[in-house]
Structure 1
Amino acid sequence: MSAVGTSLTVDIEQILGSEAKELLEYSAKFPKESLHLPGPDFIDRVWSISDRPVNVLRNLQTIYNTGRLAGTGYLSILPVDQGIEHSAGASFAPNPIYFDPENIVKLAIEGGCNAVTSTLGVLGSVARKYAHKIPFVVKLNHNELLTYPNKFDQIMFAEVEQAFDMGAVGVGATIYFGSDESARQIIEVSQAFKLAHELGMTTILWCYLRNPSFKTSEKDYHVAADITAQANHLGVTIEADIIKQKLPENNGGFTALNFSKTHKKVYSELTTENPIDLTRYQVMNCYMGRAGLINSGGASGSNDLFDAVKTAVINKRAGGMGLISGRKAFQKEMTEGVKILNAIQDVYLSQDVTIA
């Protein structure tokens, strides 16, 4: 399946409004020529020289060849693990049809996504009907919210072999970098990813930060470009094929919090305050884009179409590989959710949205 000839569903400039010119015409500080950019030949050009087994390359290509973005090298993935991460009531009450796992998979298919990622239970419950129709990515670990008082830790809910047995093409996991439990999580996920690669599955890592000290009265450095980028660098170290990261909102976390190590050139020569530059620094820390950066879509709000398109524009122009957006889509009527997903995909299909 190829995206060639796919018509756009929205007017990107109109959606961006007064921010269109700044976002679409900005020239990045760090040159794009140094990056390994997404494209139809990404597997041949980038991953074919790696140590990844042949079946991993095949399954990666299967993801790239699915949905409206097929043949572009870009990704639009529907993630729905919020039933555990945020509680099922909090996640699905806005649209109760998604208590039924089949509707989650239907949304990904109708929305033209490259893949759907969810829990072992969600995907396993409908695997025989859908695993051959859209690539499955099983999320292995989760933060549960029934421990009181709440604690923030990612624990294994599934085994790699269970994902393999249901026909999944890949597995996903989260590491809370900076948390008290991060050392154990790094070991667990590294071992899981090793086995996944041995079985021919691709790996996606949620490289999130969790530490109360990262948030001050002035700023929340959980979304600082310098710290999130280092989390990305740790993620590709354990051979995550794709990195999921929140879009950066500020910078200078290391200097403001006075911990770890950094260099003044990170802030003077490699980045600016522009979100495209901040996101490009995240891409640079994914081995200059050898591992694709997909940014998260974030929570549903009052202007989801604008927010989704803006995030996609920033990611693409920075050299990222796509978006993994859930709540903006599944907390609405399915037709509206499909519209959000298609709008995101339009950014990556549009020849007018270029790499900065």
Structure 2
Amino acid sequence: MVLAERPTRELSLSDIADILGDEAQDLLEHRCEGIPASSLHLPGPDFVTRVWAQSDRSPQVLRNLQAILDHGRLGGTGYVSILPVDQGIEHSGGASFAKNPAYFDPENIVLLAIEGGCNAVASTFGVLGAVARKYAHRIPFIVKINHNELLTYPNKYDQVMFGTIKEAWNLGAAAVGATIYFGSEESSRQIVEVAEAFAYAHELGMATVLWCYLRNPGFKVDGVNHETSADLTGQANHIGVTIQADIVKQKLPEQNGGYRALNQKGSYGKFDERMYTKLTTDHPIDLTRYQVANGYMGRVGLINSGGASSGESDLKEAVKTAVINKRAGGMGLISGRKAFQRPMNEGVALLNAIQDVYRCEGVTIA
């Protein structure tokens, strides 16, 4: 694969506003009042020393967390831009790479992360193991230890272990990643498995990243899928940080009121109306701020996912998500399909645009 030429100019605040279009003023000038920024532990160059070093994490874990924060174009800012490519298992190789078959080759996945200026690359044991000796020292590896596979018929949705923590350590990983389908029938088993795996990863000095996803057909009420509601995703984050994830990955909230909607179908969970009337509004930055708050007020960094590739709208969607995450107090973005399902130069440009949002001093904390 031909390596990409880096864009010569960073996006300015004016450029970001132009990309956001009619939404620019609402997104760039909004102020959170329910959970003020002053109550958060915000990302910054000293985040490891100021926040993580107060915890029970070992010097080896702190070193690997610092290595991730110091790498790439966002190195030294406290923010992260991560390239995740585990879709070959999660969504099938053909569905993921047909648009750009070059990414069937693991080396091109790692090269995209390097050329794109990412802090780290997250992928499978197979992908990262195939090129570990060539690249593990050049960019931090995050090895995804469990997956859902779509080959069983009929399809089922369950995250199962694909390798061991020791194997991830042996191939030079700086961190391990895992998914829990909170709210699913299998979630209790997954919580136990991942908690044990994360404890061992910390023992060996690796950091931990948890995909805190919701998965239950019953969460769809009156045509609304509450798997992306702020209250339920926030609670998923709160469980995730309880098992000592160092960073949590979550989908951007699209609405709120999951607990209220599900209680119309029968008793479910517990909630307080002030979650909806005092702590949040329906503004996307307020909803994301609620996710940040559930990560111990930002002590555990929130990274939001970039979502599927939609074609021409990808740049605006990626920049918008980055603005929302940053202004809410999040730690960064983890975006894959928008980057690798296009030519490398375009993928690099999109990753750089995301990073420019975090590098832009004019995009402030709401």
TM-score normalised over the length of structure 2: 0.95
Query: Following the alignment from structure 1 to structure 2, what is the Cα–Cα distance between the partners of residues 316 and 9?
Result: 15
- The C-alpha deviation readout for 1:308-337, integer Å capped at 9, x for no partner, is 000000000000000000000000000000
Query: Following the alignment from structure 2 to structure 1, what is the Cα–Cα distance between the partners of residues 94 and 344?
Result: 18
Q: Select which of 320, 330, 334 maps to 2:340.
A: 330
Q: Select which of 23, 26, 29 maps to 1:25.
A: 29
Secondary structure in structure 2 of the residue aligned to 1:149: coil
Q: Select which of 121, 128, 133 maps to 2:126.
A: 121
- How far the C-alpha of 1:276 sits from its partner, in A, is 0.2
- How far the C-alpha of 1:18 sits from its partner, in A, is 1.1
Aligned to 1:64: 69
Q: Select which of 56, 81, 84 maps to 1:79.
A: 84
Alignment partner of 1:16 is 2:23: no
Gaps of 5+ in 1: 1-5
- How far the C-alpha of 1:215 sits from its partner, in A, is 1.1
Aligned-pair identity in percent equals 70
Alignment partner of 1:349 is 2:359: yes
- How far the C-alpha of 1:216 sits from its partner, in A, is 2.2
Query: Following the alignment from structure 1 to structure 2, what is the Cα–Cα distance between the partners of residues 46 and 143?
Result: 33
* Alignment of structure 1 residues 81-230 onto 2, 5 Å: 81-230=86-235
Query: Following the alignment from structure 2 to structure 1, what is the Cα–Cα distance between the partners of residues 233 and 225?
Result: 12
Secondary structure in structure 2 of the residue aligned to 1:73: coil
2:365 is aligned with what amino acid?
A: I
Question: How many residues get paired?
Answer: 351
Aligned to 1:3: none
- How far the C-alpha of 1:8 sits from its partner, in A, is 1.4
- How far the C-alpha of 1:7 sits from its partner, in A, is 5.5
Q: Which runs of 4+ in 1 moved over 2 A?
A: none
Aligned to 2:306: 297
Alignment partner of 1:47 is 2:52: yes
Query: Following the alignment from structure 1 to structure 2, what is the Cα–Cα distance between the partners of residues 7 and 189?
Result: 42
Secondary structure in structure 1 of the residue aligned to 2:221: coil
Give the aligned CA root-mean-square deviation in angstroms.
0.9
Alignment partner of 1:320 is 2:324: no
- The C-alpha deviation readout for 1:160-204, integer Å capped at 9, x for no partner, is 001100111000000000001000000000000000000000000
Aligned to 1:242: 247
2:53 is aligned with what amino acid?
A: S
Query: Following the alignment from structure 2 to structure 1, what is the Cα–Cα distance between the partners of residues 75 and 253?
Result: 27
Query: Following the alignment from structure 1 to structure 2, what is the Cα–Cα distance between the partners of residues 257 and 147?
Result: 30
CA 1:273 to 1:239, structure 2 compared with 1: closer, same or farther past 3 Å?
A: same
Q: Select which of 32, 37, 40 maps to 1:35.
A: 40
Gaps of 5+ in 2: 1-7
TM-score normalised over the length of structure 1: 0.98
Query: Following the alignment from structure 1 to structure 2, what is the Cα–Cα distance between the partners of residues 143 and 346?
Result: 33
- How far the C-alpha of 1:9 sits from its partner, in A, is 4.1
Query: Following the alignment from structure 2 to structure 1, what is the Cα–Cα distance between the partners of residues 11 and 223?
Result: 39
1:338 is aligned with what amino acid?
A: V
Secondary structure in structure 1 of the residue aligned to 2:74: coil
Secondary structure in structure 2 of the residue aligned to 1:282: helix
Query: Following the alignment from structure 2 to structure 1, what is the Cα–Cα distance between the partners of residues 48 and 82?
Result: 18
Does 215-224 or 39-48 show the bigger shift? 215-224
